[in-house]
Structure 1
Amino acid sequence: MTFETDHLGFLLNPLDWQPAWAEQSAEQLDIALEAQDLAIIESLRNFYFEFDLSPPMRPLVKHIKNNFGADIGNSIWLMQRYGESPARTLALLSGLPKPKNCL
């Protein structure tokens, strides 16, 4: 399956997102998606469509903490799971634009 992306690999239209996009992107990042990852992705998609914002790191951590608990709603856990830029990685997996201020 092919998806239209920008020069950084982010999905051009968030409405084109499908679970296959997340699976394909995760595979390229060497991340084995689990049910919890898919729940986080769905939550971030809801956040984006409610606030018209791909959350950068601080709002991302707060959102995950509020929705999934302090055990995973912290920057250490997120960086261990999604690499040095969790906001960027999760936006990519969620089919959202790259968050502002992410390299």
Structure 2
Amino acid sequence: MTDGTRVRRRVLVRGFVQGVGYRWSAAREAERLGVAGWVRNRADGSVEAVAEGDEAAVEAFVAWAAHGPRGASVGSVDVREEAPEHLAGFTVEP
């Protein structure tokens, strides 16, 4: 059950997370959870994502990010709380 509280989290995932389908898997998980935002690879080999929506759904996305898809090896996850921007949809950025 949700209370309608919209939250936003910026997630930085480090480890072996590029070249394993992490971004596309993150997009599928976000769509499954009804979370808006985006995901992208960073030049340092990490993956950055923004997830926005219902608090429970966003927290579930963050929990998923801690292990990622099969083939990923997540070393660490940093999560920052941010003010919601009322995004719609979820995109995979280059």
What TM-score results when the alignment is normalised by the length of structure 1?
0.28
Please identify which structure carries the higher helix content.
1
What TM-score results when the alignment is normalised by the length of structure 2?
0.29
Please identify which structure carries the higher strand content.
2
